[in-house]
Structure 1
Amino acid sequence: MGAVAEAIRGKLEAAFSPSRLELADDSDRHHGHAGHSGAGESHFTLRIEAEAFAGKARVMRQRMVMKVLADELAGPVHALSIVATAPGEA
């Protein structure tokens, strides 16, 4: 796992204390697409489960994650697919 992924993981763990956190670097699948520099760590898929998302709408959950990762999204991360759930949700 690279430096960007480690930073993302660290920030999410600190902000949400997730019971589940899966982060996949999908950069290789975006070769030739906008935002793909060839260096990697530009496109990610995130699955996160945390109590902080309980009772929140899907869009609010995504905004919560994006706020925590604002620096990464303004810089090296071009795309982030987010699935954020509360414990017990499918």
Structure 2
Amino acid sequence: MSTDQEKPTESSITVKLSTHLKPEHLEVVNESFMHNVPRGSETHFKVVVVSKDFEGIPLIKRHRIINELLRDELAGGVHALSIIAKSPSQWETGGKAVEPSPACRGGFGK
């Protein structure tokens, strides 16, 4: 069983998004294993956030809200952040399936 100390960045992201957005649904997925980084890295994440706070807010503003909340993590080692930010009505009507992230291309356009 892993602890918050073993996954400090993932834990920090989860706490900040949970605290500030009070999501109805939240997934924080460490996708670092899909990239050329050392085992156990916390450099690539996908977040799926469903919050009432997103009702009536354009997608770009939702992304800005999340990026601002995670400013320290992005400055401190998170290299990539994939964001899926939906209102509860979008989540219900659009289906709850989240597409898997594409395979890493090596970072050099391979």
Same fold (TM over 0.5): yes
Q: Structure 2 matches for 1:47-66, cutoff 5 A?
A: 47-66=48-67
- How far did 1:40 drift? 0.9
The aligned runs of 1:11-30 (5 Å cut-off) are 11-30=16-35
Query: Percentage identity across aligned positions?
Result: 34
TM-score, scaled relative to structure 2: 0.74
Shift of 1:81: 0.1
Which of the pair has the greater relative contact order for Cα pairs under 8 Å at 6+ separation?
1
Q: Which letter maps to 1:44?
A: F
Give the equivalent residue in structure 2 for 1:85: 86
Structure 1: give runs of 5+ residues left out of the alignment: none
Q: Which runs of 5+ in 2 are unaligned?
A: 95-110
RMSD over aligned Cα atoms: 1.1
TM-score normalized with structure 1 length: 0.89
Aligned length: 85
Equivalent in the alignment of 1:3: 8
Specify the structure having the higher radius of gyration (Cα): 2
* Structure with the higher fraction of residues in strand conformation: 1
The amino acid across from 2:72 in the alignment is D
Report runs of 4+ in structure 1 exceeding 4 Å deviation.
none
